[in-house]
Amino acid sequence: MDERKYTAFGNRLSKVLQHRRKKAAQQGVSCYRLYDLDMPEFPFIIDIYDKHLYVAEYQRQHTLSPEQHAQWLATSCQTISNTLATPPERLHLKRREVIVERQQQYQRNAHTNARFAVPEHGLQFWVNLDDYLDTGLFLDHRPTRQRVRELSRGKRVLNLFAYTGSFSVYAAAGGASEVTTVDMSNTYIEWAQDNFTLNRLPLVPQCFIAADVLAWLPAQARAQYDLIVCDPPTFSNSKRMRSAFDVQRDHPALINQCLRLLAPEGVLFFSTNQRRFKLYDEHLHTPRIVDLTRQTTGFDFEGKLERRCFALRPAAQTSQTASEG
């Protein structure tokens, strides 16, 4: 590849870094997205995790031989490392398909057990940039996490498909009276507990449950929670689930189960990374729906984010109350 293209790539990184580093400092975060497939010749996602870089190469059609591709990748990583003043040992490289389903977060790719804590809005979270496809902290949910903390004081909070429990940590830090964290993976439930311990948050009266959310929800009594966070995978056919899950097809039933568990003044935050997702609101047991996608999009995802986020409230509430979600 022409050396000038590597120079242009480096210049792009330097320019964006200058802008986003200031924004991050103003907001008290050290983890943010820097580069998102901005230049066709360099199909990378680059995320900054404090003093480390998470670099994901998206595999695309190209005419390079294996040797040429290896050289291109090495030179690209060197450009990233040099431009961002980060030692190569702190650059964590992953290879991803263009379309990646969320359930792959459970697939372990290595066994380094190398994790470190990163700060976000005065809290701390364990991340692992080597062993899994995902890192332990979804950066695109950062504004929604803040919103959950602001609304949690004195509330009973339920976090479904909780992954490593970052929403649960924010809720507990915001003064929730109790937080229930549900995820299918024992590994991530333990990770969530470690995040609580890291932030010196008591594990009691919190509840951590390793279970299939779709099987767990129907067995719960009504009106137990004031705030529910539901961030399901786009698709999952895990052997630990009763049946395959498709968020576009199955979200009405899932949302209605969540609405059933809400207290009269409660709120459900539902989000999905499904491309071209359409909310089937005509099948939902409430007309009180607010699209929060724009309000919950961080400075580092503007114009790039495909995640959708909605606030839903029980049907009996007034429209004014619903709009405040």
Token match 């950062």: residue? Answer: 142
- How many CB atoms are closer than 10 A to CB 296? 24
**What radius of gyration do the chain's Cα atoms show?**
20
Q: Does residue 23 register a pLDDT over 80?
A: yes
What confidence score (pLDDT) does residue 104 get?
47
* Residues 75 and 140 both lie in one domain: no
Q: Give the span between the Cα atoms of 126 and 166, in whole angstroms.
A: 10
Q: Which of 93, 137, 94, 131 shows the shortest CA–CA distance to 109?
A: 131
Task: Please check whether residue 88 lies inside any domain of the structure.
Answer: yes
Task: Please check whether residue 103 lies inside any domain of the structure.
Answer: no
Among 98, 130, 155, the domain-final residue is 98
Residues whose CB is less than 8 angstroms from the CB of residue 120 and which lie 6 or more positions away in sequence, other chains included: 28, 29, 30, 31, 137, 142, 145
For 225-258, the pLDDT digits (tens) are 999 999 999 988 776 667 789 999 999 999 999 9
* Residues 221 and 78 both lie in one domain: no
Task: Please check whether residue 227 lies inside any domain of the structure.
Answer: yes
175: which 2 tokens? Answer: 């003064």
Question: Which three-class secondary structure state does DSSP give residue 320?
Answer: helix
For 147-202, the pLDDT digits (tens) are 999 999 999 999 999 999 999 999 999 999 999 999 999 999 999 999 999 999 99
For 282-293, the pLDDT digits (tens) are 999 999 999 999
* CA atoms in the 13 A half-sphere facing the CB of 170: 25
187: which 2 tokens? Answer: 């590994």
- The CATH number given to whatever domain includes residue 300 is 3.40.50.150
- The CATH number given to whatever domain includes residue 57 is 3.30.750.80
Q: Does residue 27 register a pLDDT over 50?
A: yes
* Residues 181 and 243 both lie in one domain: yes
Q: Does residue 141 register a pLDDT over 80?
A: yes
* Residues 252 and 293 both lie in one domain: yes
Q: Give the span between the Cα atoms of 208 and 165, in whole angstroms.
A: 9
Contact at 8 Å (CB) between 147 and 309? no
Q: What is the full DSSP assignment across 147-211?
A: HHHHH-TT-EEEEES-TT-HHHHHHHHTT-SEEEEEES-HHHHHHHHHHHHHTT--SSS-EEEES
Structural domain boundaries, residue 184: 116-323
For 33-60, the pLDDT digits (tens) are 999 999 999 999 999 999 999 999 998 8
Q: Which of 207, 113, 127 shows the shortest CA–CA distance to 168?
A: 207
Q: What domain count does the chain have?
A: 2
What confidence score (pLDDT) does residue 108 get?
60
What confidence score (pLDDT) does residue 323 get?
43
What confidence score (pLDDT) does residue 237 get?
78
* Residues 133 and 240 both lie in one domain: yes
* Residues 189 and 64 both lie in one domain: no
- How many CB atoms are closer than 10 A to CB 257? 19
Angle at alpha carbon of residue 124, lines to 120 and 130, rounded to 5°: 95
Is this structure's pTM higher than 0.75? yes
- Encoded amino acid at 319, one letter: S
Task: Please check whether residue 111 lies inside any domain of the structure.
Answer: no
Query: At 110, is the pLDDT very low, low, confident or very high (cuts 50, 70, 90)?
Result: low
* Residues 267 and 147 both lie in one domain: yes
Query: At 98, is the pLDDT very low, low, confident or very high (cuts 50, 70, 90)?
Result: low
* Residues 156 and 195 both lie in one domain: yes
Q: Give the span between the Cα atoms of 263 and 252, in whole angstroms.
A: 19
* CA-CA-CA-CA dihedral for 68, 71, 73, 75, to nearest 10: -140
* Residues 75 and 185 both lie in one domain: no
* Residues 161 and 45 both lie in one domain: no
Q: Which of 118, 125, 121 shows the shortest CA–CA distance to 90?
A: 118
49: which 2 tokens? Answer: 């995790």
- Encoded amino acid at 183, one letter: D
Among 98, 129, 149, the domain-final residue is 98
Contact at 8 Å (CB) between 143 and 295? yes
